[in-house]
Structure 1
Amino acid sequence: MRANPERRTALVDAAIEVLAADGARGLTFRSVDVTAGVPNGTTSNYFSSRDDLLLQSGLRVHDRLGADSAHLGQPPSPEFLTSLPQLLRDRLTRDRAGYLALLELRLEATRRPALQEALAERVRANLDENIRLHREHGLPGDPLLFYLTIGGFMLEQLTLPGVLPDGLLEKVVEHGVRGFVGGGP
């Protein structure tokens, strides 16, 4: 296998674009070569199998969709919690292909135990960190309920835009945060 890390990352990013556009069934070494604009056979020089490419795509997509560096050092607060849905929506909208690829990878993981294990490990670590920060900073509400609420809204918003009324997520989060802080609904 080739060792050029920049080329490898570019190929994985191209695989993510293919997953978003054509689904897991459309992901082939050839389709990645075409999307990346590289000579035929390049992807097969970097990945031992399609499963390896799927696994690397699953790990990379989480890096692409991770928190903006501007918000990493910011201590969580009820105000930050209230603004979080818009920040997340903006990030996922900027990389809609990454989010759609993540959904494809999650579906594919139901059929591929190694992919499921890798994705579950990455998501669990992220969730554990979010719960830790939520509790460490004494934020209101149940962090798991917050995670599930935002995740459900993002799924609707980015896969079926227009189904939910504009501003609904913010209203639900604000209502929840105020209720937990004691300001009433």
Structure 2
Amino acid sequence: MPIDYCDYNNPVFCCFRLGQPCSTHYNWLQKSLYLKVSRSQSWPTELERPSSPPQQPPLQQPQQQTQQPTRMMVKTFQAYLPSCHRTYSCVHCRAHLANHDELISKSFQGSQGRAYLFNSVVNVGCGPAEERVLLTGLHAVADIYCECCKTTLGWKYEHAFELSQKYKEGKYIIELAHMIKENGWD
């Protein structure tokens, strides 16, 4: 159902931001979608072409549309940590990953060697959680990757099944092979 009021002449920057067009742009959208579809249909060859041009059906407004969630492309912005602090960055693209103050432990083992445990990280995406048997027992973990270059960096502890390992829940492992030290390291 279209909304009744629109402030702008450009449909891209007005009511479409609300997820639905106004009545003016609703009609415009229906017409442009129809023309796009009708132009993309292939014409028959000369032998198959009828003597009269094909009739186009009249534009009809749908009776009732179900409200579907709109998909919007979201641009994630890169976070930058303060330059006065010692930071860890992605070795592949130099995006900031963690502040040294968030480091909990340096005594972890990753799949590619040593790894650090961090309380929080930035510029990192998280994959789906899965159960894995690690050196310290069964854990539910999710692989983490650099948001900028999409390189897998380590994992996030979602759930620890052993009571002694509960301190790891919500913490992040980043392997040393994927990060470098920046800003103020001597």
Same fold by TM-score greater than 0.5: no
Higher relative contact order (CA 8 A, sep 6+): 1
Q: For the superposition of Structure 1 and Structure 2, which TM-score range results when normalised by the shorter chain?
A: under 0.3
TM-score normalised by structure 1 residue count:
0.25
TM-score normalised by structure 2 residue count:
0.25
Higher fraction of helix? 1
